[in-house]
A and B are shown apart, each in its own frame.
Chain A
Amino acid sequence: MNTVLSRELETLFFILIASAIGLYAGLHIKLPGKFNSVPVMTVLPHTLPTNPTVTPLVTSPIPKVTTTFWTSSDGVEKITMKTTANYNLSTTYAFTLTNTTTNIDTPLFTQTISGVSSMSIPFNVFSSDNSYFFLKETIGNAVHFLVFRTNGEIFPTGEKYLDMLPLFAAYTSTYAIADATGWASPDLLVMNTTKQDGSQGPSFWFEVSSKSFIPLATLFE
């Protein structure tokens, strides 16, 4: 009798031990594959952190975004400049062309430049036949006038745009571009200049098709 009781106690003991081990295993061991009801996701960092310091939460205001646009003389072409003032004091300019008759938008380019530089749309941005447009970019004391083709194509000589500053500097060192005001005809951009002493120089035409400068007898003030 004692022997039977002892074996029953041993059996019960082993059952309890086995149950305890099974319960432990069920709670702590995750089985792979379909048997695991909780998906295990492994995320590898794309870049390793280089700065071990804790980054505080960003509490700066939302970047200031302004949008300006201007249309061609006939109202057909529209150029839009979206300006974003960034946290690091740089500014991002994004330009888009829109044909108002087809409502087709064509992104032109996006450029981020430092705080001392700026870009703008001149009043007479489009040539009289809308073949070209030009933008003004000021970098420090240097003023660049950039001429683009409205159809988005590059120039036959391979440039995406023509920067008049280096072109004119290569043409003459006697005068410097003071301003580009608009278009005298479909491919003649009107430029005013200054002499080296800062006084007013002659006006020039920049002929886009030939990338040449034409000095003028009369001033275009």
Chain B
Amino acid sequence: MLGVHFFSSQPRFCANSISCIKDLSGKSQPNLIATFEGRKILIPHMLLAQSSLHTAVLGASVTPGKKHIFVDLPTQTLYAYQGKSLVMKTLISSGKWHPTPDGDFYIWIKLRYTRMTGGSGDDFYDLPNVPYVMFFANADVPEAAGFSLHGAYWHSNFGHPMSHGCINMRIADVKALYDWASPTTTGETTYATNTDPGTEVTIVGSAPGVTTN
């Protein structure tokens, strides 16, 4: 399976200076407190009650077709298509303190939860139980770079850059996208395979006020 052996020898894998993946088990870590923008943040109980959040099933009423996620950075908008049908359109938050890369990517792993830490000084962040994480990569931006789509419980300023490079989404939105996107979820950790490849993610443009590298 893609990525298994790469990460299995690095239990404390830091993706880059802005994102640190510490755990690929997909399991939640209760009783932890998050830190973001210098604030201590209690993790909502709702996040840890997996079955209590009900969202619409994307694409259930449309013709089956190829799934494709587009992220338009200038407008901070995500579009999800199934064939020619638009199944989701919502505002996101892309990288503010580090730009989100543009290009064509594929989801290579889905994690129900993970913990992300990084930054330093005032920008230090420690975010346990980041929900519905979909890491994506391509030949230019490897898996080790650690970019992903995921839910954000620590802020609610979607439509504006707020992340350290990832694509932040509302919890209800990202759950629906996570349930819809490939690979089909099989557990707390799901890898893309040759028989169940990850959904393509296309990111275009530049976020407002953010200089790309």
Q: Considering the complex, which residues of chain A in the window 167-213 have a beta carbon less than 8 Å from any beta carbon of chain B?
A: 181-186, 188, 190
Of B10-18, B140-148, B149-157, B190-198, the one with at least 4 CB within 8 A of chain A = B149-157
B162 A184 Cβ-Cβ under 8 A: yes
A123→B91 CA distance, assembly (Å): 9
A182 B158 Cβ-Cβ under 8 A: yes
A74 B157 Cβ-Cβ under 8 A: no
A74 B154 Cβ-Cβ under 8 A: no
A157 to chain B, nearest CB (A): 22
Contact of A73 among B41, B54, B153 (CB under 8 A): B153
The residue of chain B having its C-beta at the shortest distance from the C-beta of A219 within the complex is: B209
A76→B44 CA distance, assembly (Å): 11
Residues of B within 8 A of A74 (CB): 44, 46-47, 53, 153, 170-172
> Contact string, A109-131, partner B, CB cutoff 8 A, digits 1/0?
00000000000000110111110
> Contact string, A58-75, partner B, CB cutoff 8 A, digits 1/0?
000000000000011111
A128→B151 CA distance, assembly (Å): 11
Q: Considering the complex, which residues of chain A in the window 80-125 have a beta carbon less than 8 Å from any beta carbon of chain B?
A: 101, 123-124
Residues of B within 8 A of A159 (CB): none
Residues of A within 8 A of B41 (CB): 128-129, 185-186
Residues of B within 8 A of A185 (CB): 36-37, 39, 41, 154-155
Residues of A within 8 A of B172 (CB): 71, 73-75
B160 A129 Cβ-Cβ under 8 A: no
Q: Considering the complex, which residues of chain B in the window 27-42 have a beta carbon less than 8 Å from any beta carbon of chain A?
A: 36-37, 39, 41-42
A73→B44 CA distance, assembly (Å): 11
A15→B44 CA distance, assembly (Å): 97
A190 B171 Cβ-Cβ under 8 A: no
A186→B40 CA distance, assembly (Å): 10
Residues of A within 8 A of B37 (CB): 184-185, 188
Whether a CB of chain A sits under 8 angstroms from the CB of B50 is no
Whether a CB of chain B sits under 8 angstroms from the CB of A13 is no
Number of interface residues of B (CB under 8 A): 31
Contact of B157 among A76, A182, A219 (CB under 8 A): A182
A128 B55 Cβ-Cβ under 8 A: no
Q: Considering the complex, which residues of chain A in the window 115-159 have a beta carbon less than 8 Å from any beta carbon of chain B?
A: 123-124, 126-130
The secondary-structure label for the interface of chain A is loop
A90 to chain B, nearest CB (A): 31
Whether a CB of chain A sits under 8 angstroms from the CB of B52 is yes
Whether a CB of chain A sits under 8 angstroms from the CB of B119 is no
A75 B53 Cβ-Cβ under 8 A: yes
Whether a CB of chain A sits under 8 angstroms from the CB of B26 is no
Whether a CB of chain A sits under 8 angstroms from the CB of B118 is no
Q: Considering the complex, which residues of chain B in the window 182-213 have a beta carbon less than 8 Å from any beta carbon of chain A?
A: 208-209
Residues of A within 8 A of B39 (CB): 185-186, 188
B46 A124 Cβ-Cβ under 8 A: no
Pick the most buried of B44, B47, B151, B156: most chain A CB atoms within 10 A of its CB: B156
A126→B156 CA distance, assembly (Å): 7
Contact of B159 among A123, A127, A130, A183 (CB under 8 A): A123
Residues of A within 8 A of B209 (CB): 219, 221
A127→B153 CA distance, assembly (Å): 10
B156 A75 Cβ-Cβ under 8 A: no
A126→B157 CA distance, assembly (Å): 10
Known contacts A75-B172, A129-B153, A182-B157, then 10 further A-B pairs from the complex at CB < 8 Å, ordered by chain A residue:
A73-B158, A73-B172, A74-B46, A76-B46, A123-B91, A124-B159, A181-B159, A188-B39, A220-B160, A220-B161
Cross-chain pairs A/B with CB under 8 angstroms, 26 sampled: A71-B172, A73-B172, A74-B47, A74-B153, A75-B55, A75-B171, A124-B158, A124-B159, A127-B156, A129-B42, A182-B155, A182-B156, A182-B158, A183-B155, A184-B162, A185-B36, A185-B37, A185-B39, A185-B41, A185-B154, A188-B37, A188-B39, A190-B157, A218-B96, A221-B160, A221-B209
